[in-house]
Amino acid sequence: MSKIIAINAGSSSLKFQLFDMPEETVLTKGLVERIGMDNSIFTISVDGEKKTEITDIPDHAVAVKMLLEKLTEFNIIKDFNEIDGVGHRVVHGGEKFSDSVLLTDEAIDEIDQLSELAPLHNPANVVGIKAFKQILPDVPAVAVFDTAFHQTMPEQSYLYSLPYDYYKNFGIRKYGFHGTSHKFVTERAAELLGRPLEELRLISCHLGNGASIAAVEGGKSIDTSMGFTPLAGVAMGTRSGNIDPALIPFIMEKTGHTAEEVLSTLNKKSGLLGVSGLSSDLRDIEEATEEGNDRAEVALDIFASRIHKYIGSYAARMNGVDAIIFTAGIGENSSEVRARVLRGLEFMGVYWDPSLNNMRGEEAFISYPHSPVKVIVIPTNEEVMIARDVMRLA
């Protein structure tokens, strides 16, 4: 039995999940919020009951120390020595990391150097890694990268049609994200289909506040909708997705905003929020459409139609598709979005059952048994993928 902790460190937060491996039993999970601010919030699940404490947690090292102390206080572990490995989610691995990696000092430095590619995420990931190293210096730690799964993409997928020197000199290319999730659900889909992953053509739709689509052929990502950053691809909760790049100087001229301000608008004030003017939360948008709100209806249509187009594009790219997968918060829970995405795909062999689609958050086939292309809802589990990689590498 090995106790493995999976960590997702944000700039002011720390999500954790403790597993008993290889059984993959979740012993506890929780969240530290508002790190470095007044009234930090520590939440942990003990025997299915949430326990919350409001206190001051000045930095990630204090958050880690508090987390480990709480694990012993609630008798989840006897002492720190019971932790056999730590797995860290890292957003960007660049071209350097095509797989998860054991965290040496050299690897940590390389992750830090990739911060210019993910300035909002990698620095926070490194802070989390160093905080654990400080308190558990002898426990093996592994980094699991959001980008790694997509490193199998061919040049025709990852290169932009820009001067080639931009790629060679600055690393400007498509990287793709949500790789850990896409990997988990495609592997699970192969199990559910009872077929080898190597012979399957799958389209994975990770639909949350951030959303990305991936074409996975023979278990390898061959294309994905996000790009150099997670701003590209389909419309999302607050992100625009793909737009004409010439709009940026045009918007700057019309509004007097700087490039940074326009980029902030594209990242934080666009997507469902921007079009609807109401909310970035899909549940609010769906509620408003039921009440006859026209802009909410348009926002929902844009969201679903962009995903619909990617599915058609990726089916063409792979000369067909065996299954379409829906995952993440919206993909798992919104029957309305799934219905809007799937409508009109009958021409390529997608036949889905509205009654089967009418469910939330469960693993299920929602296509008819005779449908040539299967449609599967699979709840994602990035944390268990992290724990598995710790077991594999540590």
- Catalytically active residues are 146
∠ CA 14-381-238, rounded to 5°: 65
Cis peptide before 249 (omega within 30 of 0): no
Q: Is 15 annotated as a binding residue?
A: yes
Burial class (CB in 10 A: 0-12, 13-18, 19+), 119: exposed
Q: Is 102 annotated as a binding residue?
A: no
State in Å, rounded, how far the first CA of the chain is from the last one. Answer: 14
Q: Is 150 annotated as a binding residue?
A: no
Q: Is 89 annotated as a binding residue?
A: yes
Gap between the Cα atoms of 108 and 222, Å rounded: 28
Gap between the Cα atoms of 238 and 41, Å rounded: 25
Gap between the Cα atoms of 63 and 393, Å rounded: 26
Q: Assess contact for 383 and 17: CB atoms under 8 A.
A: yes
Q: Is 210 annotated as a binding residue?
A: yes
The type of residue at 340 is R
HSE toward the beta carbon, residue 148, CA cutoff 13 A: 21
Q: Is 208 annotated as a binding residue?
A: yes
Question: Nearest-CA neighbor of 222 among 341, 303, 318?
Answer: 318
Question: Nearest-CA neighbor of 378 among 330, 322, 325, 304?
Answer: 325
Gap between the Cα atoms of 74 and 312, Å rounded: 51
**Crossing angle of helices 282-290 and 294-317, rounded to 10°:** 120
Q: Is 95 annotated as a binding residue?
A: no
Q: Is 33 annotated as a binding residue?
A: no
Q: Assess contact for 373 and 349: CB atoms under 8 A.
A: yes
Q: Is 281 annotated as a binding residue?
A: yes
Cα–Cα separations (whole angstroms), residue 62 to 112, 132, 296? 21, 10, 43
Q: Is 274 annotated as a binding residue?
A: no
Q: Is 209 annotated as a binding residue?
A: yes
Lookup: tokens for 151: 């490193």
Q: Is 68 annotated as a binding residue?
A: no
Gap between the Cα atoms of 333 and 325, Å rounded: 13
Q: Is 332 annotated as a binding residue?
A: yes
Cβ neighbours of residue 323 under 8 Å, at least 6 residues apart? 189, 193, 200, 202, 203, 373, 374, 375, 376
Residue set of the binding site for ATP: 15, 206-210, 281-283, 329-333
Residue set of the binding site for substrate: 89
Residue set of the binding site for Mg(2+): 8, 382
Residue set of the binding site: 8, 15, 89, 206-210, 281-283, 329-333, 382
